[in-house]
Amino acid sequence: MAHQARKRFGQHFLVDEGVIDQIVRAIGPQAADPMVEIGPGLSALTAPLLETVARLTVVELDRDLAARLRHAWPAQRLNVVEADALTVDFSGLGDALRIVGNLPYNISSPLLFHLAQYADAVKDQHFMLQREVIDRMVAQPGSSDYSRLSVMLQARYAMEKLFDVPPEAFDPPPKVMSSVVRMRPLGPERPRPHSEQAFAAVVTRAFAQRRKMLRRVLADWAADIDWDALGVAPTDRAETVSPAQFMAMSDHLVKAGRLS
């Protein structure tokens, strides 16, 4: 029986063979890779990945699709984790994970933040997402797409937008253009804030009113930040400030005892 896409799960199944091949080539799977696929759906990526990798773990919320997957491949080849990806402890799936997926667009940002917790256990991630989201992920300071998502992810990953995917590559077609992104976690030598919690708090508040000058948005903390040392001008807005500058800003506030 044909599977009916379920709107509540944000299901849009990839059906274009050319796009599928392009994604698999971009991933470049190897036999021994500890590969994890989020949202395997109707196995558009699952099947070609299993032509190369010895064993694949998939995370699928839809119980009917999970049952189909278990029926299609033996457990020694395909490990089916029937769960919401937002609740999965990815650190329990191995080290140097290679995570892939056509992510549900309705939970893309929360899922990216959830996965960031496990970046130390990840080698790389290849995701298909709404193009608008990927444009924000890779945006540079000064761009209209630069956002909280840009800062938080760029502090943890090197990211590259690979190519666009049109709506007609899916069934049913989404109402938006999609893109594929490659994310590689930055190593232990990366710049790090003294407090991840303080860094996140500063970035969140800064972008809550992104059109206002940053010193006004952060008025409660402004006196404890050495703006000149950071190279942040009085008229600068959040969208012009780099991840490294936000880190330094939060470090000043931690040192002053304003944040912890």
What domains can be seen in the chain, in order of their start residue?
A: 7-185 (3.40.50.150), 196-255 (1.10.8.100)
pLDDT in tens, 26-35: 999 999 999 9
Q: Is 10's pLDDT higher than 70?
A: no
Average pLDDT over residues 220-226: 96
Nearest to 82 by CA among 98, 62, 57, 103: 62
Give strand pairing partners of 18.
none
Phi, psi of 47 (to 5 degrees): -60, -50
pLDDT in tens, 71-107: 999 999 999 999 999 999 999 999 999 999 998 888 9
- Quickly tell me which residue has 């992810």 as its tokens: 153
Q: How far apart are CA 126 and CA 8, in angstroms?
A: 24
Q: Is 182's pLDDT higher than 90?
A: yes
Give strand pairing partners of 180.
128, 163
- Quickly tell me which residue has 């650190």 as its tokens: 91
